[in-house]
Amino acid sequence: MSFLYLKDIDATIRWVDLGHGDPILFLPGLSLPVGSGFTAVAADPSLQGRRSILLDYLGSGQSDHPKTFDYALNSHVKTIIDVLDHLNISSIDVVGHSMGGTVGIYLAMAHPERVSRLVVGEGNVEPGGGVMSLRVSQNGEAAFLNGGCATLLEDLRAKSKMGAAGADRLVAGWQKADPRGLFANAKALVDLPDETFDQFAALPMPKTFVFGGENLNGETTPDLPNPERLERHGIRPLVVPDAGHAMMLDNHAGFMTVLKTALGEVGHC
């Protein structure tokens, strides 16, 4: 695992660097380790000839939990730019899932020249949050840190024992995450600025929004915008069939097909 000490934060951020060729940055969901969702994706033979950077945010995965870090979306962006600068990567394809999609949008807004293509897998593009970010943030930071986080993990463990793979993935990731960071990340998604979608649409690089097919039921939420609205704003909607929110795990082959399509859309704006 590669690492970079960030002197201004007094913390070390870590990532996995695989392969050679034009780089892809993979960004995970809410305070989750990047490996749980993207290791198999990065190792897939269809990405041979590409370099994959799998990054753990500060406060999650293998990265440090700095006490002074504020976990704002733009603060995550700054740490990502620090890593890209350290690696001498001037431009990169960005693939983000859930929170990672939103972080990818913020990265592209702050540094459009650094993002060659942007692929957002059910990321929040409007305020309001998703199911889990709302649950984490609903009672405030003090309540979450003083028992709320432990209660949430116990509830998820109970579901895991009943065979819920999604709950088990959350337990595995969140029990190693910084609770303060988990809350702050969730609150940032819930409190996205109203103009986030319009800023996403205005980005100059090719943009793709990926849905899990099981979630396309006609309902629009902050992380499930209307596909026709996306198309009207120059954002290509693609669908992973037979998959829910954890699309790359629910249907790996289907996700890889969609990802290769998204990364091949050089001329789409």
φ/ψ bin of 98: left (φ > 0), alpha (ψ from -120 to 50), beta (otherwise)? left
Determine, yes or no, domain membership for 117.
yes
Give me the mean pLDDT over the 217-233 stretch.
96
Q: What is the mean predicted confidence (pLDDT) over 204-222?
A: 96
What is the band of 81 on the pLDDT scale with cuts at 50, 70, 90?
Answer: very high
DSSP symbol at 10: T
Residue 269 resides in a domain: no
When pLDDT is cut at 50, 70 and 90, the band that residue 203 belongs to is very high
In whole angstroms, give the CA distance from residue 179 to residue 167.
17
C-alpha–C-alpha distance, residues 32 and 187, integer Å? 15
Q: Residue with structure tokens 């003083």?
A: 146
Residue 4: phi and psi, rounded to 5, are: -145, 125
Contacts of 82 (CB under 8 A, 6+ apart): 4, 6, 13
Rounded CA separation 160/156 (Å): 6
Query: Could you tell me the CA-to-CA distances from 258 to 7, 51, 58, 81, 248 in Å, in that order?
Result: 39, 18, 29, 27, 10
Q: What's the CA gap between 55 and 80, in Å, rounded? A: 8
Please report whether residue 29 resides in a domain. Answer: yes
CB 27 within 8 A of CB 103: yes
pLDDT tens digits, residue range 116-142?
999 999 999 999 999 999 999 999 999
Start-to-end Cα distance in the chain: 35
CATH number for the domain that contains residue 33: 3.40.50.1820
Residue 88 forms part of a structural domain: yes
User: What's the pLDDT tens digit per position in 135-171?
Assistant: 999 999 999 999 999 999 999 999 999 999 999 999 9
Residue pair 124/130 in contact (Cβ under 8 Å)? The answer is: yes
Per-residue pLDDT band for 202 (boundaries 50, 70, 90) equals very high
What is d(CA 219, CA 251) in angstroms, rounded to the nearest whole number? 22
The percent of residues in the chain predicted with pLDDT above 90, rounded, is 97
Which pLDDT score is estimated for 269?
Answer: 31
Does residue 148 sit within a domain? no
Number of domains, the chain = 1
Q: What is the pLDDT of residue 216?
A: 95
- Region 36-50: mean pLDDT is 96
- Rounded to two decimals, the pTM is 0.96
Four-point Cα dihedral 105, 130, 170, 185, nearest 10: 50
pLDDT digits 0-9 by tens, 85-116: 999 999 999 999 999 999 999 999 999 999 99
Domain, as residue range, for 205: 2-133+191-263
Per-residue pLDDT, 267: 36
pLDDT band of 266, cuts 50, 70, 90: very low
Pick from 175, 73, 187, 188: nearest CA to 141: 187
Establish if 254 belongs to a structural domain: yes
Residue 178 lies in a domain: no
- Establish if 236 belongs to a structural domain: yes
61 three-state secondary structure: coil
Mean pLDDT of 34-50: 97
